[in-house]
Structure 1
Amino acid sequence: MRNGPMIRVLNRPGGLLVTDPGRILPVAALFTAVGLWGGSFAAMRLCVQAMSPWSVMWLRMAIALVVILPFAGRLKTDAYRKGDWKLLLPMVLFQPCLYFLLESNALRFTTSSQAGVISASVPLMVAIGAWMMLAEPLKRKTLVGLFLSVCGVAVLSLSGSPDDTAVKPLLGNLLELGAMACAAVNMVMVKRLCDRYNPWLLTALQVFAGTVFFSPGLVLLLREARVGWTPPLVFSIVFLGAVVTLGAFGLYNWGMSRIPASKASVFINLVPVTAVAIGWMVMGESLSGLQGVAAAAVIIGVGISQRRTR
């Protein structure tokens, strides 16, 4: 037996599953991040019902910035190389700026449950982004899974009828799909930058850029004198800013810096389960029978694309 860290090899149908103790912490970080993201849909929907999306996003970013500022001096900034701005600028533009702009408006028109289901399409988008930007091979099963997931998202969106919980489900779901595309592009860029940059530094850059981008929300917030600052609203804002915006994105960036992007994106599959469960318990949301089948098609499509070969 060779010297080195012990690796356990477990038999499983369709192949072998290798578990490396050195990946326990990154996997735990990814699990925690996607769990927090799943809970953020209901909290975000509650907030955008009480104030404008720009105000909510500025508060999220400002709270996260206040929390991370005391630690900013400990983050190394000597990794910059000439031309890195071509990656850093799109990284912060796609997420948090465009991502949160699209998602915050999406949750005005659709339910947190449907938005959570659509988030399952991220792994497929990451695979396509890695094929386009990193020249990674695109397998046939990925294309099959993509087709099935797109069909599921289409049925999920078109079968929704306007009601008190989703006033314009088609528009909301399209906006959420656009937000997921922004997230997928961002993940590919973060993976490239994590080779040299501290993932928490990248998170701090995202928070700072988001605070500046959504600064008009401060003006809108000062004009929204009728906002009722109830305990659930205050808790949701603090949770979104300090825990989700900073904690979830920081943990995910850190975990992805130690695991391949295509593997890390698979953890997004857990977001729909959490989002639907919390949407049902907290917001009183539910999926119709046809929407449930469509949601299953989205998740199955992702599963097909990520299935191990023998």
Structure 2
Amino acid sequence: MGYELIAFVQQSYIHGGAILFSYNKAYLAAIIYTFIIGFSFMFVKIALLTADPSDILAHRFTVAGLASIIVFSFNKTKLRMPKQDFIKILPLALLYPALFFCFQVFGLFYTTSAQAGIIQACIPILTLLLAAYFLKEYASSREKLFTFLSVTGVIYIFAMSSFSGKQGNLLGILLIFLSALSASCYNVLARNLTKKYTTSTLTYFMTIFGMIIFNFIAIIKHLSTHTLTDYFMPFTNNSFLLSIFYLGVLSSLLTAYLSNYALSKITASKMSLFSNLATLITIFAGIIFLKETLQYYHIIGAVFILAGIIGTNCSSSKK
């Protein structure tokens, strides 16, 4: 009896340790993902000095696609994509990268990286609402109150930006908000798909899909304006080369893999919380490296958003 008890305790310890190690890796992946995304806004702004948004997206995912082909060609596990699964994964690829990056890049064309980073802070709130509706994870009264607080912060930034006389900024903020909505939908949808498909399969499919769709859009645009010879002109600029490598390999391919992996281990709402840290990184990166100005209403709105997010998750935690 004693030996059986000892064996049971040992097995439980080993199993529990394996689970803890798995979750630690998931959170580490989420943290790395956060830092890469936090600096991505700055590199998008640098790339926009040389190329337009459609070309940036095309070149970004061309680099990401080629990198994924090289990386996953050495993967011992074969990537399988049955025809019947294509329809199931397609909506995920449409949300991320297609809609997410389209709204993000065009939004950054009309607004600053600091403003974009603040709007991205509403991703956990949107994820919480979508998770409650689709995953039946209902929020308490306190969680709803803090959610309303964060939404109030977003509305405040919308209103103050329109009153500041910068009419273009309102369009940029709207596009960034749609980008955040796409990311929230991705968080909820990916949570289920990561249980059915491997991280490598989802990442490879999403990256290749992004390469095809964004290059198609860019080439059609150049053909319509008879500027196809200018398609590869940005690669003659060293700053663009550095930016597109960061955006393609790190901020597209690697973050897709890290996000898919983290979502296979932790809930969508927990994963979405890491966008808060990305927001702070984005703001400071824009101020320090791009010399951008942070308005007082950005700070007030950010306080409302972050206070609501922190309050929401503290309300749902018993520890």
* TM-score scaled by length of structure 1: 0.87
Write the distance in 2 (CA, Å) between the matches of 1:248 and 1:66.
16
Q: Deviations over 1:192-238 (max 9, x none)?
A: 01112111211111111111111232463735477584322211111
Between Structure 1 and Structure 2, which shows a larger proportion of helix residues?
2
Write the distance in 1 (CA, Å) between the matches of 2:253 and 2:234.
25
1:222 is matched with 228
Query: Are residues 268 and 89 of structure 1, via their aligned partners in 2, closer, same or farther at CA, if it must alter by over 3 Å?
Result: same
1:279 is matched with 286
Write the distance in 1 (CA, Å) between the matches of 2:268 and 2:187.
7
3-state SS in 2 of match to 1:287: coil
1:23 is matched with 23
1:41 is matched with 41
State the Cα distance separating 1:6 from its structure 2 match.
Answer: 9.1
CA contact 1:109–1:171 (8 Å) conserved in 2: yes
Q: For structure 2, which runs of at least 5 residues remain unmatched after alignment?
A: 1-5
CA contact 1:122–1:183 (8 Å) conserved in 2: yes
Write the distance in 2 (CA, Å) between the matches of 1:6 and 1:72.
30
Write the distance in 1 (CA, Å) between the matches of 2:109 and 2:208.
25
> 1:136-215 residue pairs with structure 2 within 5 A?
136-160=137-161, 168-215=168-215
State the Cα distance separating 1:184 from its structure 2 match.
Answer: 0.9
Aligned AA for 1:252? S
2:102 is matched with 101
Write the distance in 2 (CA, Å) between the matches of 1:200 and 1:286.
40
Work out which of the residue numbers 259, 277, 286 in structure 1 matches 2:266.
259
State the Cα distance separating 1:70 from its structure 2 match.
Answer: 2.3
1:246 is matched with 253
State the Cα distance separating 1:289 from its structure 2 match.
Answer: 1.8
3-state SS in 1 of match to 2:136: coil
The answer to whether the aligner puts 1:134 opposite 2:135 as a matched pair is yes
Write the distance in 2 (CA, Å) between the matches of 1:135 and 1:229.
51
CA contact 2:101–2:179 (8 Å) conserved in 1: yes
> 1:78-93 residue pairs with structure 2 within 5 A?
78=80, 80=82, 82=84, 84-93=85-94
Write the distance in 2 (CA, Å) between the matches of 1:296 and 1:217.
38
3-state SS in 2 of match to 1:72: helix
CA contact 1:109–1:167 (8 Å) conserved in 2: no
3-state SS in 1 of match to 2:205: helix
CA contact 2:128–2:269 (8 Å) conserved in 1: yes
Write the distance in 2 (CA, Å) between the matches of 1:79 and 1:267.
30
Question: Highest CA radius of gyration, 1 or 2?
Answer: 2
Query: Are residues 81 and 227 of structure 1, via their aligned partners in 2, closer, same or farther at CA, if it must alter by over 3 Å?
Result: closer
1:11 is matched with none
CA contact 2:47–2:239 (8 Å) conserved in 1: no
Q: For structure 1, which runs of at least 5 residues remain unmatched after alignment?
A: 9-18
1:72 is matched with 72
* TM-score scaled by length of structure 2: 0.85
Write the distance in 2 (CA, Å) between the matches of 1:139 and 1:224.
55
State the Cα distance separating 1:31 from its structure 2 match.
Answer: 0.2
Write the distance in 1 (CA, Å) between the matches of 2:297 and 2:193.
41
State the Cα distance separating 1:304 from its structure 2 match.
Answer: 1.5
State the Cα distance separating 1:90 from its structure 2 match.
Answer: 0.9
CA contact 2:79–2:200 (8 Å) conserved in 1: no
State the Cα distance separating 1:67 from its structure 2 match.
Answer: 0.7
Write the distance in 2 (CA, Å) between the matches of 1:60 and 1:141.
42
Write the distance in 2 (CA, Å) between the matches of 1:287 and 1:192.
38
3-state SS in 2 of match to 1:159: helix
Query: Are residues 81 and 146 of structure 1, via their aligned partners in 2, closer, same or farther at CA, if it must alter by over 3 Å?
Result: farther
CA contact 2:80–2:201 (8 Å) conserved in 1: no
CA contact 1:157–1:169 (8 Å) conserved in 2: no
Query: Are residues 162 and 109 of structure 1, via their aligned partners in 2, closer, same or farther at CA, if it must alter by over 3 Å?
Result: farther
